[in-house]
Chain A
Amino acid sequence: MTKKRDRLEVIFDILSIISKNNNSIKPTPLLRQSNLSSSSFGEYYKELTNKNLIKELQDKNGKKYVTLTDQGFNYISKYKYIKGFISEFDL
C-alpha cells in the first residue's frame, strides 16, 4: 500500500503536472492526473489560487487553462529544500 501523500506533496504534484504540460492544462485533465477526489481537488485548487501559486486563464474561445505563476515555479524548485527543512526540524 502506498503512503498517503501529505499536503505539501499534493501541492507539489499538482504544480508538477502543470509544469510538465508546458505550463498550460485544462482543469479537468489536471483533476484526473492529480489522483484526488473532486472535492479535495476543489479545495487544493482554491488554496493554490489564493496563495498565488497558480492562475486561471481563458483563451479567446472562453476555455479555461491553468498555469503556474512565478511563485508556483519557485515552489517546485524549492520543494526538496522545504521538505528537508520540515523533516530536519520536525515541524
Chain B
Amino acid sequence: MPPMPFFDPVRFGIEIAYTSIAVCLFFLIYFRTKEIYKLTKHKGIMFFRGAFLFFAISYLLRLFLILSRVYSSPSSIFSIRDFFPLSLIFVSYFSSLGIILLIFSITWKHIKSKHLVLFAHLLSVLLTIIILLTNSPEILTYIQVGLLIVATVLGIFFNNKTERSKKSIQTRMLYFLLLLSWLLNIWMLTPGWFFPSELKSLFQVLSLVVFGAIYYKVSKWLK
C-alpha cells in the first residue's frame, strides 16, 4: 500500500469540485444522447455513450480512491484506507472499459465482429486482474498509457484509410486529450510523484475545458 500522503482540505475541496463538474458533463453526454440511440440503435452511438458513462463512474471512483489514500482515523478499527485496493480495482475496470469503448466507437465499422462488447469487458477484466495482483496505481498508469498508444495508432490508421472531415480530426484530438487527462489524473495519484497544487489545479481547469468542448460538440446536434 502506498505511503499516506498529507491531507490538504483545500486540495480535497478542489478535487470534489473538479470531479463534480467532470461527472456532470459525462452524465449529460450519456443521458442527452439516449433519444438518438433509442431511435437508431446505432452501434457507434452505443459505444460512444458507454465510454462516457464509464468515464463518469471512473471519475467518481477516483475521488473515492483519493479519499481512501488520504483519510484514516487511527482511533477506529475500521478505516476507509482499507478500501484503497478495492477502489483501485473498480477504477481500473471502469476506466479501461471507458477507454476501450471509446476506441471501438471510431473503429467498430472496420472490425467485423459481433462480440465487441464482450471483448471490451473481457479485456477490462484481464487488465483489472493485473492490477489486483500488483495493487499498484503505477501499473494501472502504464497499462492505460498502452491503451492510449493503441487508441492513437488506430485513430491515425483509420483516419488515413478513409476520407475524414476537419471536424472529425478535431474530435479525435479531443478524444486524445480526454484520455491524456484521465491518465494524468491517475498518474498524479501514484506515490513518488509530487505535483504542486497550483500545477494540478491548472491541469484540471484545462481538462475541464476539453470535457466542456466535447459536451458542446454533442449538444450542438441534440436539438
Show the binding face of A for B, using Cβ within 8 Å.
8, 11, 51, 53, 71, 74-75, 78, 81-82, 84-91
Interchain CB contact under 8 A, B167 and A81: no
Interchain CB contact under 8 A, A87 and B168: yes
B171 at the A interface (CB under 8 A):
yes
B172 / chain A contacts, CB cutoff of 8 Å: 90
Interchain CB contact under 8 A, A91 and B39: no
Interchain CB contact under 8 A, B36 and A85: yes
Interchain CB contact under 8 A, B39 and A84: no
Question: How far is the CB of B111 from the nearest CB of chain A, in Å?
Answer: 14
Interchain CB contact under 8 A, B171 and A75: no
Most chain B beta-carbon neighbours within 10 Å: one of A71, A85, A88 = A85
B165 / chain A contacts, CB cutoff of 8 Å: 87
Interchain CB contact under 8 A, A8 and B167: no
- Candidates A71, A87, A88, A90; contact of B39 at CB < 8 Å: A71
For the A-B complex, the count of residue pairs with Cβ-Cβ distances under 8 Å equals 66
Interchain CB contact under 8 A, A75 and B39: yes
- Candidates A8, A84, A89; contact of B171 at CB < 8 Å: A89
Distance, CA A45 to CA B33, complexed state (A) = 25
B139 at the A interface (CB under 8 A):
no
Most chain A beta-carbon neighbours within 10 Å: one of B39, B44, B45, B172 = B39
A75 / chain B contacts, CB cutoff of 8 Å: 39-40
Give 12 pairs: A residue, B residue, CB < 8 Å, sorted on A: A8-B42, A51-B41, A75-B39, A78-B35, A78-B36, A82-B39, A85-B33, A85-B36, A85-B222, A89-B106, A89-B217, A90-B171
